[in-house]
Amino acid sequence: MPDPKTILIDKLIRKEAVIGIVGLGYVGLPLMLRYNSIGFRVLGIDIDQEKVDRLNSGKSYIEHIPSARIAQAARSGFVATTDFSRVADADAVILCVPTPLNKYREPDLSFVTDTTDALKPYLREGQVVSLESTTYPGTTEEELLPRVQENGLVVGENLFLVYSPEREDPGNPDFETRTIPKVVGGQTPACRDVGVALYEQAIDHVVPVSSTKAAEMTKLLENIHRAVNIGLVNEMKIVADRMGIDIFEVVDAAATKPFGFTPYYPGPGLGGHCIPIDPFYLTWKAREYGLHTRFIELSGEVNRAMPEYVVGKLMDGLNRHGKALSRSKVLVLGIAYKKNVDDMRESPAVKIMELIQAKGAELAYCDPHVPVFPRMREHHFDLASVDLNAESLAGYDAVVLATDHDRFDFAQIKQHARLIVDSRGTYREPADHIIKA
């Protein structure tokens, strides 16, 4: 009789396996659509009843994912639920839940552990469990492994445990779930084989690594690479500004070197779920080994200071116009963490808004992708996006360009705004009323 590994791999290859995705956000929803589009039956599980209801009625809540795609998935067998007992119906269980930092900038694994605790009573022989949430090396082995084996299942024999870090880039038209290579590490060699079989059905290129720890470290290295280089160029921005040099001109010129240089551009800070958070997962874990990751932590300090730098530039500009920030009307342009998306996770624009409000200014924002300020775990503004036109622009003492959405009319903004604080390098030509920040 075939063993559980062989049976499961065969079901995955034949597309007879049921794919269960836990957490239906920016990572889980695109993954659901991909498996659904190639003929798998997909079950979605989320604790948010409102999300579940929207999906089951064929509606999307993520801007770059059209409702038509959700409706098509629902017609072809996709079902969302808040009932964790339905995990028993799935052959593959993929966890796509948040891994934020707590107020001490330490890993908060409560979403991962609580989710695993909720599903473990319903795990059964012949399933594969894959964690995609970004975390520190050792999480799968230390937190998931003992939990999924509590009821007598044996990982590597009749239950298979893998780690495969998500690599979604919301709103990037050059990549989609299928075309982004997928790293997969297994708790055992058998687990890795099952993990490869799970993902190679949906992803063009699967990259097996030797362990879950190696896969976890891979994700951290990718994002620490970006965080450190962005920290470097943000620090260079401050130095260049003090010397009267345009850092964007310098980066553009350096980028003409065909080898040994990768251009990174400064901004108002780091945003998104990964880059502002992931480095601190490694710094926290490294302390267990008696190591102090000074380089990583320094870049984090630089990047976290950028919103204050932007607000400092705003105050300088207003002072030159004889205005105090506390008596000014300020418009923040773009509050999503990057251009052309509605994703608010860790957006530096929110910190900028908080700093401006704390100084007593009258605050407003405009973002065509975020019509109403959303519910967030740590931040809230009772604001809605204002209309942008010549008259409204002229009514503010200053506008802060925090996120450079393509839908903004930058020529109109330049013409009618009294003062522009540009944190994105959108305006390359100098002007008296434009301050680069």
- Kindly report the pTM of this predicted structure: 0.91
How far apart are the C-alpha atoms of 167 and 170, rounded to whole Å?
Answer: 10
Q: Which residues of 77-109 are buried (b: 16+ CB within 10 A; e: fewer)?
A: ebbbbeebebbeebbbbbbbbbbebeeeeebbb
Q: What is the pLDDT of residue 270?
A: 86
* CATH homologous superfamily, domain 245-437: NAD(P)-binding Rossmann-like Domain (3.40.50.720)
CB 64 within 8 A of CB 242: no
Q: Where are the domains of the chain?
A: 4-214, 245-437
Q: Rounded to the nearest 5°, which phi and psi values hold at 372?
A: -135, 135
Q: What is the pLDDT of residue 104?
A: 77
Indicate the Cα dihedral angle 236, 237, 243, 246, nearest 10°.
120
Q: How far is CA 398 from the centre of its chain?
A: 29
Please check the confidence at residue 114 and state whether its pLDDT lies above 80.
yes
pLDDT, averaged across the chain: 95
Distances (CA, A) of 385 to 120, 190, 331, 380: 43, 52, 10, 14
CB 134 within 8 A of CB 273: yes
CB 28 within 8 A of CB 22: yes
Placement of tokens 């999906």 in the chain: 55
Q: Rounded to the nearest 5°, which phi and psi values hold at 318?
A: -65, -40
Q: What is the pLDDT of residue 105?
A: 79
User: Mapped to the 3 state alphabet, what secondary structure does the chain carry?
Assistant: CCCHHHHHHHHHHCCCCEEEEECCCCCHHHHHHHHHHCCCEEEEECCCHHHHHHHHCCCCCCCCCCHHHHHHHHHCCCEEECCHHHHHHCCEEEECCCCCECCCCCECCHHHHHHHHHHHHHCCCCEEEEECCCCCCCHHHHHHHHHHCCCCCCECCCEEEEECCCCCCCCCCCCCHHHCCEEEEECCHHHHHHHHHHHHCCCCCEEEECCHHHHHHHHHHHHHHHHHHHHHHHHHHHHHHHCCCCHHHHHHHHCCCCCCCCCCCCCCCCCCCCCCCHHHHHHHHHHCCCCCCHHHHHHHHHHHCHHHHHHHHHHHHHHHCCCCHHHCEEEEECCCCCCCCCCCCCCHHHHHHHHHHHCCCEEEEECCCCCECCCCCCCCCCCECCCCCHHHHHCCCEEEECCCCCCCCHHHHHHHCCCEEECCCCCCCCCCCEEEC
Residue of 96, 191, 274, 366 marked active site: 274
Q: What is the pLDDT of residue 323?
A: 94
Indicate the Cα dihedral angle 69, 74, 78, 81, nearest 10°.
110
pLDDT in tens, 358-398: 999 999 999 999 999 998 777 789 999 999 999 999 999 99
Please check the confidence at residue 268 and state whether its pLDDT lies above 90.
yes
Burial class of residue 286, CB neighbours in 10 A (0-12, 13-18, 19+): middle
Average pLDDT over residues 81-107: 92
pLDDT in tens, 20-78: 999 999 999 999 999 999 999 999 999 999 999 999 999 999 998 999 999 999 999 99
> Where does the pLDDT of residue 137 fall: very low under 50, low under 70, confident under 90, or very high at 90 and above?
very high
pLDDT in tens, 271-327: 877 777 878 889 999 999 999 999 899 998 999 999 999 999 999 999 998 999 999
For the domain spanning 4-214, the CATH number is: 3.40.50.720
Placement of tokens 């891994």 in the chain: 99
Active-site residue flag, 366 = no
Q: Do domains 4-214 and 245-437 have the same CATH topology?
A: yes
